[in-house]
Each structure stands twice: as C-alpha cells, then as structure tokens.
A and B are shown apart, each in its own frame.
Chain A
C-alpha cells in the first residue's frame, strides 16, 4: 500500500491526557514536524511537550486596546473641542477627565473584539472542512479521547515506519485518516 495522496495521515488514539503529553513529546523528539495533538480539553503541559511557540494573541489584544482607546479619546476631543465646541460658563473645552470612562470602555471593546477574532483567525476558524473529520473515531476527540495525528505531508513520514513508531507510543489504536 502506498501512502497515496488520498491519505491525510495516521491517527493514534489514547484514553488519557498523560499519555497524550508523553506521546506528543516523543513524536516531536522523533523529528516529526507536521503533527498535531487533539484533546477534548486544554491539557496542561501539552504546549511544552509539543514545544509550541508563544502565541501572538497578547499582542493582538494590546493593539486592539490601543486602537480602541485612542479612537475613543480622540473622537471625544474632536467632538468637544473642534467639531462642536460649547461654551458652558467658560469651562474648558478640553475636559479630558470626563472623556476617560468612554475611552476605557472602548479600550476594552477594541481589545476584546480584536483578541477574540484574532484568536479565531490565527486558529484558522471557521474551518468547515478538515480531513480529520473523515476519521470515524475522531468524533471522540471532542468527548473523551485524545489523539495524535502525524500528517502524510511530513518529510519524515513513511507509512510503515510511522505506523510502527506510533504503535510504540502505546495507543489504543492507530488508524489511517483518508484525505
């Protein structure tokens, strides 16, 4: 059997989070690059085991917050000082303390929306179709099972050897994911 284009990769199924972390570490140490670990909850220690790079999410939050805050503040300054100045008993037009609450709210709004949509964008969601969903066992990845998938596109991928390697991780089962 050839690792034809019609195969996305090999999928190993585990029933515990610890095994998943172990398996992810071994897969990385074996030199595979195009692999993923799939879990029904955020497993502690999995990031380190896979050596994932730090995310840019905090930066997106920060930038969204800065943009929201500046927009909010200068919109109010523009309205109150330039566009529609109202002289109320000679009080200063540039009354910045009164502009803080809205600036604060728009900072939060900008940061929150940028961060939430940024998270979805970096995760490539929505992704209505993914080859992993072809695997009949994969429904359990959102319930009670843990999976490692090594993609056939990995340069180190060899159907026989990779299958052997994945069996050595102690999974319940290793199966092929149709592409």
Chain B
C-alpha cells in the first residue's frame, strides 16, 4: 500500500470539513447512521410524539371529510383561513431546500455539500404538507382532479388565466422536479448502502433503488451533466413557484393583496423561513449523530447570513406596503394599513414585526451567528413570524375590505389547530424516517469534497 496518494485524507481542516477525513471515514460516518446505529431514545421519543400528531391530523381530516369545511372557522368574508395560511407557510419552507441544492450548486458554494440532501428532503416533506391544504380546502375534495385539464364529458377546462390554476401547475411541477433532483442525487449513495448493508432485505431494497449503479466513468459523465442541468432548471423554478403563490393574492383586487411587490417579497420570505427550517433540522441532526465535523459552524453561520439578507428584503416588503398604502391616497389601502397595525388582529401584526423584522437584526452579530442555541431559538421565532405574516396578509385583508356592511371576523376552531399541528407532526415523522433509512448527507459529494480539500494530492505524496 505504498503507492503514491494512498490514504489520502484532509490534512488541514477547513471551515466546511474537519481535518482527518478520507474517503473511507466519510463513507463510514454517514452510512453508519442508517446501517449500524440503533435508533436512540431521543429518536424514539420524537417519533412517538410525531406519530401522535399524525393521528391527530388523521382524525381532523377524517372529521373534515365527514362534515365539510364548516368545521373550520372559515366563512364569508374570511373564506381563506388557516388552510391557505398553512399552505403558503409550508410551501415557503420548502424553498430553501431547492435553493441550497440548485442555486448554491450553480454558484459552486462548497458549504452546500453537507446540507443539500436533508434540505431537499425537507423541501419534499414541506411540499407534501403544503399540497394537502388546497385539497382539504376544497368543498368536494374527491373532485380534486377538476383542478387539472383532463378530457371530460362537459367539455370544460380549467381557467388558465387564473393564478390559482398556475399554482396547480407550479406546485406540482415543483414537487415532481424536487423529487427527481433529490432521487438522482441519491443514486450513488444508494449504491453505497447496497454494498454496505448487512441484512438481506436492506441489500435488496437499496439494490432496487440504486438500479444497478456501479460508478462507471461513462455513467458519471452523463450523470454530472444531467445533475448540472437539473440544477439549472430548478433554480428558476424556485423563484417561479413562490412568485405564482404571490400572484394568487396580487391578482385579486383586495386592499393588502393587490400589490406588485408580492412576487419578489414572497420569494424572499420563502427563503427566509426555509433557512430557518434548515437550521431547525440541522442543529438537532448534527447533535444527535455527531455530525459537527460535516455540518460545521460555517454552515450554520452562512444560513444565518442568508436569513439576515432575506429578512431585510421581507422588512423592505412590509415598509413598501405601508408606504404605498399611504402614497396611493386610496382610502381603502390606507385603512388596510391602520387595520393591520391597530385593528382587531393587531397582536398578530406586532408579533410578526417582532419576529421577522426585529429578531433577524441580532444576526448582524458574529457571536450570535456562531452560537448554536441562539440560532435554534431565532429560527423558531422566524418560523413563527413567517406563519404570522401569512395570517396577517390573508385574514386582515379579507376581514375588512370595502364595505363595512360586509366586514367580519375569523376565529380558528380546534380543527384548524389540529390540522396545522398535525402537519407539523407529519413533517417531523417523515424527516425522522428519512434520517433513519436514507443517507442524510450526500456521501459521494463528501468524497469529492475530501478530494478537493486534500490539496493537490501529488503535492502531498512527497
């Protein structure tokens, strides 16, 4: 084994990978999480808790199907209640995954490597949660396929000029392409699992999923091209999805919705909440499986920096809404701003300002960006704030529009809360399962990182 370049390892640690790792040890470390380790007590406790919330979700949805959307607090004028708030919130959270995997890949950011896989998984699960809500919100959910163009005896079509129909296409394309991107990225790692798994069932299952991947140079050649192009496609897709969600609102004439700033401000808000969720997942993950060498402080700090930037864009969005409400001189637009800040739902507005405008300012300080517990707290606050933002946008705008005679209030019921917390349980359950059965960090890309970080290896051979 005296050949040159043997035992190639990262001699000097960098800020994205600690020192001392070689191809074998990164492979061992990541695959052992699934193939060797037993599920710990913390995992089992979280799993049981998440499963409980999934049961609550099942009960809430069953009762909804039995009785209809009347069990929720929605009515006229507030016909879009928690369901749409939750939809926008979840789909926003999903955006960071594809942002990390596509945009940062195209920009060749080396800190993407160890967080992209689980961030993509987060995207898929968040989109699954988001996708439930518009369907549950349908009066007749079993007719959900009416959303799609299909040959029917009535010769009817969806209204293609409506942003709501655009949304059907945007969200379903987003879910499909994210799944494809995630799966394609995982094929080489599934082959690793196939070759390392001890139990026969695991070998067969991972073997089927790996599809016979053998690491051939010809395969890698096509694979790399396809992966790059998928990233190139996914990057504008991320921007388009939340822009279309923003247009769901902007196309309506309602004060507080009818605003051209919505698409960009929604995209920034989505990435803002998405990075908060990445931190919420990364911090327990690195703690539970001892992945501090792979998910370093630099990764957390960079997520925090992106939260700060997108948080400032979001703050600009709030300021711009208020400013243009005033500048327009329009009675209804001006009232909308007063109603948000001082009306019946004023608490939600000030919670939102505290969470999304005040809290991210702490991220200006390097010490806070590098403090793991504080980041976890801040990311929770930001997610709460982003949920509140959608609540404020949807509820306060609908609640008091033009005619005082058609004003009303919205009071969420226990079923609204059960569905919201139920989907959080569903998301957590999916993520816990993912961590236990699939590679949470891309092993093949980590090997590539080892190769790159180990300096020019012929130098090291001396």
Contacts and interface: CB of A to CB of B under 8 A. Distances in A.
B188 interface: yes
Determine which residue in B23, B221, B226, B229 has the highest number of CB atoms from chain A within 10 A of its CB, and name it: B226
Nearest to A112: B177
A143 B195 contact: yes
A139 B214 CA distance: 9
Interface of A: 14-19, 24, 36-44, 46-47, 50, 52, 55, 57-58, 61, 72, 75-76, 79-80, 83-84, 95, 98-99, 101-102, 104-106, 108-109, 111-113, 115-116, 118-120, 122-123, 125-130, 132-133, 138-144, 170, 172
Given A42-B223, A83-B157, A108-B173, A141 B215 contact: yes
A37 B217 CA distance: 5
Nearest to B177: A112
B160 A58 contact: no
A120 B240 CA distance: 27
A4 B420 CA distance: 66
Contact of A19 (B3, B165, B216, B219): B3
Nearest to B225: A57
Given A42-B223, A105-B170, A142-B194, A112 B230 contact: yes
A52 to B, nearest CB: 5
A134 to B, nearest CB: 12
Interface stretch (B4-12, B48-56, B135-143, B421-429): B4-12
B212 A127 contact: yes
Given A61-B233, A109-B176, A112-B234, 18 more contacts: A16-B3, A17-B8, A17-B457, A36-B217, A40-B27, A40-B192, A42-B224, A47-B221, A58-B229, A99-B160, A102-B169, A105-B166, A108-B173, A115-B233, A125-B187, A126-B211, A138-B214, A142-B213
Nearest to A101: B166
B155 A84 contact: yes
Contact of A16 (B155, B176, B244, B457): B457
5 interchain residue pairs of minimum CB distance: A16-B5, A126-B211, A127-B212, A119-B226, A144-B23
Interface residues of B, number: 70
B196 interface: yes
Contacts of B207: 128
Nearest to B6: A15
Nearest to B157: A79
B123 to A, nearest CB: 15
Contacts of B226: 57, 61, 115-116, 118-119
Contacts of A41: 188, 220, 444-445, 447-448, 451
Given A17-B451, A42-B444, A98-B161, A143 B23 contact: yes
Interface in B147-192: 149, 155-158, 160-161, 163, 165-166, 169-170, 173, 176-177, 180-181, 184, 187-188, 191-192
A172 B166 contact: no
B127 to A, nearest CB: 14
A104 B224 CA distance: 24
B415 to A, nearest CB: 32
A105 B23 contact: no
Contacts of B187: 125
A135 B163 CA distance: 56
Given A101-B244, A112-B177, A38 B217 contact: yes
Contacts of B220: 39, 41-43, 46
A18 B254 CA distance: 63
B165 to A, nearest CB: 7
Nearest to A61: B229
Nearest to B458: A18
B217 A46 contact: yes
A174 B306 CA distance: 50
B217 A115 contact: no
* Central interface residue in A46, A120, A170, by most chain B CB within 10 Å: A120
A132 to B, nearest CB: 6
Interface in B405-462: 444-445, 447-448, 451, 457-458
Contacts of B41: none
B236 A108 contact: yes
B462 to A, nearest CB: 13
A21 to B, nearest CB: 10
Contacts of A130: 212, 214
A144 B5 CA distance: 13
B223 A132 contact: no
A98 B160 contact: yes
A109 B230 CA distance: 10
A144 B195 contact: no
Contacts of A112: 176-177, 180-181, 230, 233-234
B218 interface: yes
Nearest to B26: A144
A122 B181 CA distance: 17
Interface in B1-50: 1, 3-8, 22-24, 27
Interface string B305-346: 000000000000000000000000000000000000000000
Contacts of B165: 102
B217 A52 contact: yes
B67 interface: no
Nearest to A139: B195
A43 B216 CA distance: 11
A43 B224 CA distance: 10
Contacts of A142: 188, 191-192, 194-195, 213-215
Contacts of B157: 79-80, 83-84
Contacts of A102: 160, 165-166, 169
Contacts of A76: 160
B222 interface: yes
Which of A58, A125, A170 has the largest count of B CB atoms less than 10 A from its CB? Answer: A125
Nearest to A47: B221
